[in-house]
Amino acid sequence: MIRKGWFMTLSILMVCTLVLSGCSGKSETMKVKIGEVTRSVFYAPQYVAMEKGFFEDQGLEVELQTTFGGDKTMTALLSGGIDVALVGSETSIYVYQQGAEDPVINFGQLTQTDGTFLMARESPGAFEWDQLKGKVFLGQRKGGMPQMAGEFALRGKGIDPRQDLELIQNIDFANIASAYASGTGEYVQLFEPQASIFEQEGKGKVVASFGVESGHLPYTVFMTKESYMNENADTVQRFTNALYQAQQWVNTHSPEEVAEVIMPFFKDTDPEIVISSVKRYMEQGTYATDPIVDDQEWNNLLDVMEQAGELKERVAAEEIVNNRFAEQAKRSGE
């Protein structure tokens, strides 16, 4: 009898433990590997989500790596080296155009404008776009979003990048800044904080913003393979929830506050440079305030790609954009 009573007591305790653990709201921590196309203040909300613990609050353990270039980032995603890519939406279109059986799906927009600035090695007087004609322009990789948005903006100013400039495009993305610093090009297209660093060092002056000139588009978006999304829908939702929380935090805080939070990702950069970089992006509305990719932005992206000659046919947003997670995150966060 004593033994039977002990067994019943133990069984009850085990059941209670299971019930309590199930009711605690705790769930297994999910690991997510992110590949960012470059390290830039341009991606401030992502770093805020990590530093403020928003991913952790959603039960996610995030591992971030910099994959340096859209082609390398997409290769890492398709091969399974990363789970989620932070890269330009044009890369998902390229994969779709190739007839991928497992297409790449955009689910969370981070930036809504181009993030590059036009830097002049010498800037005599007020800048006029015609000053670029006949000059050596150090551009970005052909087919990449920075180059296409840059060309879109130039054409809007009456400049044919193929005829009016000496355009250099044979330098790897990661080496563009060092090539300019060593004397290549009279003009260059740069992200922050590199543009502000060069200004501080007297290597040039920012004279225009390609983000302002090319309009709103899904410039940098979190994306994943359709198979991963189908198999890990809850993880994608939690990821998007954290992203939206970070976007709202950035939208309601000053450049100084944002810079202070993201400084661990820019340890070798002057804090004042980080502040000025964040301020530039905030003033031109670069950071998206929610993760939704809207139709107007998508169509502008297609216009940019079409003008660049990189689009086989216009791809409807519903083919490779899934706003369900973003819309749910926004509803939950309001």
Evaluate whether 30-113+217-333 and 116-209 have a shared fold: yes
59-79 pLDDT, tens digit per residue, is 999 999 999 888 999 999 999
What pLDDT score was predicted for residue 286? 97
User: Does 3.40.50.2300 match the CATH number of domain 116-209?
Assistant: no
Long-range contacts of 260-265, Cβ-Cβ distance < 8 Å, separation of 24 or more: 261/47, 261/48, 261/51, 261/52, 262/41, 262/44, 262/47, 262/48, 262/51, 264/47, 264/51, 265/39, 265/47
| Alpha carbons 288 and 323: distance in angstroms, whole number | 14
Tens digits of pLDDT across the chain (334 residues): 444 444 444 444 444 443 344 443 446 899 999 999 999 999 999 999 999 999 999 999 999 999 988 899 999 999 999 999 999 999 999 999 999 999 999 999 999 999 999 999 988 789 999 999 999 999 888 888 889 999 999 999 999 999 999 999 889 888 999 999 999 999 999 999 999 999 999 999 999 999 999 999 999 999 999 999 999 999 999 999 999 999 999 999 999 999 999 999 999 999 999 999 999 999 999 999 999 999 999 999 999 999 999 999 999 999 999 999 999 999 998 7
What pLDDT score was predicted for residue 123? 81
DSSP letter at 283 equals H
CATH architecture observed for domain 30-113+217-333: 3-Layer(aba) Sandwich (3.40)
Of 123, 182, 199, give the one whose Cα is nearest residue 190: 199
- Ordered by start, the domain boundaries in the chain are 30-113+217-333, 116-209
pTM comes to: 0.87
Sheet holding 205-209, edge to edge: 166-168, 136-138, 187-191, 116-120, 205-209
262-296 pLDDT, tens digit per residue, is 999 999 999 999 999 999 999 999 999 999 999 99
